[in-house]
Amino acid sequence: MRRAFCRLAVVCIVLELPLLALAKDLYVSKMGNDSNPGTKEQPLGTIQKAVDAIGEAGPGTIWIGPGEFYLEKGISLCAEHSGNQDQPLVIRGTQPGRTRLSGSRVVKDFRPMSAAEAEPLISDEAKRHVLVADLKSQRFPPLDALPAQHRAHGREEVVFDDQPMQSARWPNEDFAVFTEVIDAGASKPTHWVTREVYRPGSFRFPGDRAKRWDFDRGVWLHGFWCYDWADEALKAGTYDPGTGELRLAVKHAYGIGSPWDKESKRRFYALHVFEELDRPGEYYLDRKNNRLYLWPPGDVTETPVRLTLCPRPLVHGNGVSHLVVRDLTIENGRDLGVHLNNCRHCRIENCLIRNTGKSGISLNGVHVAAIGCEVTRTASYGISVYGGDRKTLTPGQCSVVGCHIHHIGRLDWMGGRGITIGGCGNRIANNLIHHGPTGAVSYGGNEHLLELNEIHNVCIHYSDVGVFYTGRDWSSRGNVVRWNYIHDNANNAGHGSSGIYLDDCDSGDAVVGNIVLGGVGRGVLLGGGRDNTIRGNIFVDLPIGIHVDARGPRGITLDKPGSWNLLAKCEQVGYLSPLWRERYPRLAKVMDETPLMPLGNSIRDNILIGCKKPFAISKGIEEDWLGRENNPEWSLEDVPFLSGEGSIEKLDLAKLPTLWKEIPGFQAIPVEKIGLRGLP
């Protein structure tokens, strides 16, 4: 049928007939049936049936009516489902916000706990409120075992009132801490932060709480075991109630306890602990006996309790071109919400992606985009995009535009960024990102444009972190971070946070026209890199405005074990090829110009207001390496609309032009364009 359609299309083009007239519309409804023809009057019953049918007939639009559609295995698309330039394949809801593609099923038939079941619970109140559901009798598949070592584990979770519930934990808020490491299970650092890890470590558990837990049933501990930028949930192995020694069942990548500070407090909490089911919203999945124990935060007869089941991306496309997914809620799966791999000219538009067991949207290809979407309650990152070819510097022209990304990284703090971007020549713009455990945007590669985003309330758990972060690559050049508004973010103890973090010799980027207000410890951290431009930014009420150091010699860059391999990364992309020499002439000379030192940077025309230390320049850095010019330093009192109690938190961006009018050569920041923008 596809060949017949193509022949007919050619005839129409010759006769100058409108090709769109041939587009086929298919309809899917909760009241439909897959034996129907798929018309508006006689719709199909399942989405996959419509996808398969339209793949045979040629591109068109699949209209999905209101209601919740359970996707046991997700929706799968391949090259045969592709549309074309004139007529994409469109999958969309008939009523935005009312069509739900779900990877979960509703759990019913709850009963009170028996006295024997309730006896281990620590909370007497919980014994009266926790309900039980036998999943096997309701024909749910057997529950998967939790991995001994995990962050976003991708196993079943519980959702109530469209919110992921909390697997029973202690303490309920914040962290417990330990200071006494009994066995680090690792050597001293072999290089910088790396240690050789021999075995699972052990520590002295604080207090007596663990004496009440059944370790044979299973206990996991989630925390920062060595450094404040490497979290992980690890299964407990053994616990000695006499000595308080708790030995983990698996090794952590860096061992247990800080090698630099023997008395440092390591933060953690216990997770998946049956005895700690002690407040509304907590649950415990008995994965051996296939039972759900839940203290519901509402009436289970009125609000559905859902169990996430689908182990695959809810929408998955491989090799698809000219696809539009629009006006859908995609939710409650164990994996990704949307995964498009090796795709071309595809868009996810105006969709809500939430409550995923891994991440929200993953895009890979050329001209793929997420536009006007909301992504929330993901276990890991919000949106990832990779496109283009670094070696040939061919742009991918992928984008994330106008998306609202918030409350992400529920389980995977390390990976829980709003957006990650890689490859060459992609763009993120006009997004609003907030409430995440680590930084908001991580990027690497070449010639990306990251602009006009607003970011607040991130870096909540992590230290040594950047709101915008990149690092450890001389060849990752040509990226522009400009015109972003960064405010009210966390600055945790330790190495804290930075607005823009160019880590471990990152080089050749431009940081231009950003506004960084309070919260973070540094406006920009330039960590030993070369040929970076920091121009026309405004830093307000920070401990440090701009930090520059010379950490390169610690990186042992020249192909030594455990090094940052900066030269090797350059060689992988052919940095001495004619193309790269022409595009990045400074990079071609890197090995001839004291390669480990931060040469060739330019820091000019920045405004630093109320920064306790406007510049933090490490010893050994020569002034001509920085190109510092025209960086006025003002107090808060020098700026009338910033002075006065509480006014800084209510910064009116429209008043900022009064600042740069006084700075010759300052390039205006388009403050009226910053922030979330809807679909064009």
- Lowest-confidence segment of 16-20, 95-99, 292-296, 549-553 by average pLDDT: 16-20
Instruction: Kindly state whether residues 394 and 298 are assigned to the same domain.
Output: no
Instruction: Kindly state whether residues 403 and 254 are assigned to the same domain.
Output: no
Distance CA 361, CA 381 (A): 8
Instruction: Kindly state whether residues 249 and 292 are assigned to the same domain.
Output: no
Instruction: Kindly state whether residues 217 and 267 are assigned to the same domain.
Output: yes
Domain annotation covers residue 93:
no
Distance CA 360, CA 378 (A): 6
Instruction: Kindly state whether residues 281 and 268 are assigned to the same domain.
Output: no
The answer to whether 675 and 403 are in contact (CB under 8 A) is no
Q: Please count the other Cβ atoms lying within 10 Å of the Cβ belonging to residue 274.
A: 19
The larger pLDDT score, comparing residue 282 to residue 565, is at 282
On the question of pLDDT at 8 being above 50, the answer is: no
Domain annotation covers residue 128:
yes
Domain annotation covers residue 90:
no
Instruction: Kindly state whether residues 501 and 531 are assigned to the same domain.
Output: yes
Instruction: Kindly state whether residues 262 and 364 are assigned to the same domain.
Output: no
Instruction: Kindly state whether residues 285 and 379 are assigned to the same domain.
Output: no
User: Band of the pLDDT at 561, cuts 50, 70, 90?
Assistant: low
Number of domains in the chain: 3
Q: What is the DSSP string of 197-219?
A: B-S--EEE-SSSGGGGS-TTT--
Sequence-ordered strand ranges (E) for 148-304: 149-150, 158-160, 163-164, 166-167, 169-170, 176-178, 181-183, 202-204, 220-224, 231-239, 245-248, 266-271, 282-286, 291-294
Q: Which residues of 663-680 are buried (b: 16+ CB within 10 A; e: fewer)?
A: eeebeebebeebbebeee
Distance CA 540, CA 545 (A): 8
Domain annotation covers residue 191:
yes
Distance CA 510, CA 487 (A): 20
Mean pLDDT to the nearest integer, 368-396: 98
Summarised one tens digit per residue, pLDDT across range 138-166 is 999 999 999 999 999 999 999 999 999 99
On the question of pLDDT at 592 being above 80, the answer is: yes
Domain annotation covers residue 262:
yes
- Domain end call among 253, 274, 295: 274
Domain annotation covers residue 330:
no
Per the omega criterion (within 30 degrees of 0), is the bond before 171 cis? yes
| Dihedral of alpha carbons 56, 58, 64, 68, sign | positive
Instruction: Kindly state whether residues 119 and 223 are assigned to the same domain.
Output: no
Instruction: Kindly state whether residues 493 and 605 are assigned to the same domain.
Output: yes
Q: In the prediction, which pLDDT does 6 show? A: 38
Q: Which residue has the tokens 């000019």?
A: 604
Distance CA 613, CA 398 (A): 39
Q: In the prediction, which pLDDT does 2 show? A: 39
Distance CA 159, CA 182 (A): 39
Instruction: Kindly state whether residues 651 and 663 are assigned to the same domain.
Output: yes
Domain annotation covers residue 4:
no
Host domain of residue 204:
176-274
Domain annotation covers residue 509:
yes
The answer to whether 417 and 438 are in contact (CB under 8 A) is yes
Closest CA to 368 of 421, 418, 415: 421
Instruction: Kindly state whether residues 368 and 475 are assigned to the same domain.
Output: yes
On the question of pLDDT at 414 being above 70, the answer is: yes
Q: In the prediction, which pLDDT does 293 show? A: 98
